[in-house]
Amino acid sequence: MWGLLNAARRANLADEGADPPIVLPEGITRRRVLAALGATAALPLASCFAPSSDKAGTRVAIIGGGLAGLVALDALTAAGVEAHLYEARGRLGGRVLTANNLPEKGLNIEDGGNLINTDHDDMLALAKRFGIALIDRKPMAAHSRYVADGRLLGDAELIEDLRAIAAQIAKDAAALDADYDAVAPKLDAMSVTAYLDQHAALMKPHVRALLDATIRTEFGAEPGEASAIELLFNLPVVDGKQAELISLSDERFILTGGSSSVVRALSEPLMGKISTGHALQSIAQQGDALDLKFVNGKADRVDRVIVTVPAPLMRTIDYGGLLPKPWAALVAEIDSGRNDKINAGYAKRVWEGKTGPAGAAWAVDTKGPGIFSEFWDASSGQPGEAGVLTWFFGGDQVDALHAAEPEDVLGRAETAVAPAVPGLKARSLRRTAWVKDPFSRGAYSTFKPGQLTRFAPHFWLEENGKATQQSVVGPIVFAGEHLSDAFPGYMNGGAQTGRLAAEAVLASLRVKADAA
């Protein structure tokens, strides 16, 4: 959908005789906005820790065994720091979980994190390091199909219908680029619903419904629950020039063997430094040390702690009064979105004739949230005749999904998308339940109106491979995709912030970066 919005803007620029958009990495606009919003309130990096030269005697606990935690453990261990990881579940990986041979034999299908974009340097580096081959979807045929109220919409029609709202978004993006300090808080204070209501005359009902659907997929929220500034990150203006994001909806790579392959590669050499079944209950300062207590009654005493649990789980921990008010507010308020999947198996990949192996299909209802948002081929690049579609649900769709039998929901979804992709009849399925999982409580980060403005000083910011802003409070370091400047919601956000968290600890111990 964002690709069509970009096409609409390109058409507008062509009519104006303007230059086509310049190409930039996807995270550039969000990173710039957060940097501007956080510049006045962020702590100097040197003030985050009390420096220590006793590298060998320092103990670090890492809370959470997802990608952020595992990357941090890997980096600290390589640098010679005594670190131990505690995971609440009985398995590692967090929201990265590959179902091997489910729902179809011979296929590796993702319950959680799935796709890697071209600019996801941390994930690409991990794949290269561990020799995990990439399935490259770029050479594959890809076409997105759209259905609204049972009617198939053509690309040319949609691009034309999107031009007016694309022009408005581009105008507001230019205003944002010209004056971040003044414009960003105003846009962030609005919900997507309020923004689109304000410009309702620029959209036909099916355009509005499709934009609403993108919010459900991208942020796991209803449009009234999401900040309007998120729309502008997708049609950015940078330094006065229209920009097109190089990896927008790129989702180019899949890890061969599944995303859990990188979890195994990171964790297997470090199992002696990992304890599962340990949910952190509290952190208390005792002199220069931190006392950790776990729900299972176990305890530990450390010098630093890196907290990498998902956003809603941060507030299940008692921080013993160590968090200043702004950080306490962030911990109490930020959340994960509502997204879940039905991974459905089919005897043959009949959709390939309509979407190709790397395409997608959307079905929206102009009178409500609809049954689902989109599907894509979860088996693309994998061998065999049988295939699996991931049917993706967001916002209120997830509530409806869990209130019914998945077979019934899937049947209605197949009917809804039939004008674009007929003949779908699943023979197997697997439904995820991230919103009900007590150790995730949702899918990936989402930000309500006003939250990016309030909490921007506390996200990780990175420029040219170095942190320019840290998610650090004294001896406590926070990491996770929800705190990434440019990659929230992606596996890369977890890997990036885990790396930066480890680097922050190492810097506090006066360990040079090349020692890692």
- pLDDT given at position 42: 47
| Spatial contact of 305 and 59, defined as CB atoms under 8 Å apart | no
CA distance 122 to 144: 28
Pairing state between β 387-394 and 241-245 = unpaired
- Three-class secondary structure of residue 70 per DSSP: helix
Of 29, 31, 262, 23, give the one whose Cα is nearest residue 124.
Answer: 262
Domain map (residue ranges) of the chain: 2-27+155-245, 45-93+258-335+448-515
> Which residue carries 């940097």 as its tokens?
35
CA distance 265 to 248: 28
Domain at 45-93+258-335+448-515, CATH homologous superfamily: FAD/NAD(P)-binding domain (3.50.50.60)
CA distance 73 to 502: 8
Query: If you ran DSSP here, which 8-state letter would residue 115 be given?
Result: -
Q: State CA 375 to chain mean position distance.
A: 18
| Spatial contact of 255 and 116, defined as CB atoms under 8 Å apart | yes
How far is the CA of 57 from the CAs of 161, 288, 313, in angstroms?
63, 13, 30
Buried b (16+ CB within 10 A) or exposed e, 19-50: eebeebbbbbbbbbbbbbbbeeebeebeebbe
How is residue 371 written in tokens? 């049954």
Cα-based angle 177, 247, 69 (whole degrees, multiple of 5): 95
338, 87, 43, 474 alpha-carbon torsion, rounded to 10°:
140
- pLDDT given at position 516: 40
- pLDDT given at position 274: 99
User: In the chain, which stretches have pLDDT less than 50?
Assistant: 40, 42-43, 46-47, 53, 238, 243-247, 511-516
Helices 260-267, 121-129: axis angle to 10 degrees equals 60
- pLDDT given at position 94: 98
Q: Which residues contact 87 (CB under 8 A, 6 or more apart)?
A: 64, 65, 69, 274, 275, 276, 277, 278
CA distance 163 to 353: 29
- pLDDT given at position 243: 44
CA distance 425 to 345: 9
Q: Which residues contact 321 (CB under 8 A, 6 or more apart)?
A: none
Helix (H), strand (E) at residue 210: helix 205-219
How far is the CA of 139 from the CAs of 344, 352, 356, 389, 511, in angstroms?
24, 14, 11, 19, 43
| Spatial contact of 115 and 92, defined as CB atoms under 8 Å apart | no
Query: If you ran DSSP here, which 8-state letter would residue 318 be given?
Result: B
How is residue 357 written in tokens? 């192996």
- pLDDT given at position 379: 98
CA distance 355 to 171: 32
- pLDDT given at position 305: 98
